[in-house]
Amino acid sequence: MFSDTLIEKLNSASNVVALTGAGASAESGIPTFRDPDGIWKQFQPGELASMEGFRRDPIRVQAWYTARRETVLEAEPNAGHFALVRLEQRVPNFTLISQNVDGLHARAGSVCLLELHGSLLDSICSECGKDSEPFDVAVDAEQPAKCECGGLLRPTVVWFGEMLNPSILERAWSAAAEADVFLSIGTGAEVHPAASLPLVAADNGAYVAEINPRRTAITGIVNEEVSAPAGIALPAIVNALTAPVT
């Protein structure tokens, strides 16, 4: 499934970075975006993940994010999430960069975590920017959820056409540039700037391994392809590491 080289590289690495995408949560029952049964095969991203779509139909968008929040709160972290927690405990400097907005890495216990695309679990006012309690809106609601200032509430998920949080992106970029080993896990690597991070790592000499049952946009540049689901590959990789010297 994976090479001895990957294990040797991880055993001797000072800096390890893992980038996760929707595939890392697939085994928790959360759908990915671009697989055949993915979210963006059923819904238009412009309607549900853009400011224009939100302004056109705020109740529909708030109801859709309310339902997604309920789905992720009912889900549980899987063996891949827990293996990444063990990897963090094993490596001197470990950074987990996630494109996922489901909060499952934090619930599993990952600490050095950069959530590049925000969170389904946090809400803010789209006008004044104030943090708010998560909104709870049904599809047939008569009014959208609003802030006390009258602005519409939205999740902190980064939508198409929006900038990522610059300080989070900068930390992710630096971690990728300094990585000895970079693991790209369960992402189709089609959405930038996240998809540039494995390339930044490769350009700076990292050993880049991809963990994904299917080929992706970056498979051609990686050092190693681990063609297996994350919930199987990650525990096996972490189990193969030698114990740290105490």
Residues classed as catalytic: 117
Q: Which is nearer to ligand OAD, 30 or 179 (CB)?
A: 30
Q: Which is nearer to ligand OAD, 107 or 146 (CB)?
A: 107
Q: Which is nearer to ligand OAD, 52 or 190 (CB)?
A: 190
- Cα(59)–Cα(143) distance, integer angstroms: 7
Helices and strands, counts by H and E, the chain: 11, 9
Closest contact distance (angstroms) between CB of 28 and ligand OAD is 9
The binding site for ligand OAD (CB under 6 A) comprises 21-23, 26-27, 32-35, 38, 99, 101, 117, 157-158, 186-188, 190-191, 211-214, 216, 229-230
| Residue closest to 121 by CA, chosen among 68, 160, 82 | 68
DSSP 8-state secondary structure symbol assigned to residue 28: T
C-beta atoms surrounding 37 within 10 Å: 8
Sign of CA dihedral 25, 26, 31, 35: positive
* DSSP for 55-114, written as a single string: HH-HHHHHHHHHHHHHHHHH----HHHHHHHHHHHHSSEEEEEE---S-HHHHHT--SEE
Distances 120 to 11, 39, 48, 117 between C-alpha atoms, Å: 35, 15, 13, 9
Closest contact distance (angstroms) between CB of 246 and ligand OAD is 32
Closest contact distance (angstroms) between CB of 49 and ligand OAD is 6
Give the nearest residue (CB) to ligand OAD.
23
Q: Return the structure tokens found at 103.
A: 């909060």
Closest contact distance (angstroms) between CB of 120 and ligand OAD is 9
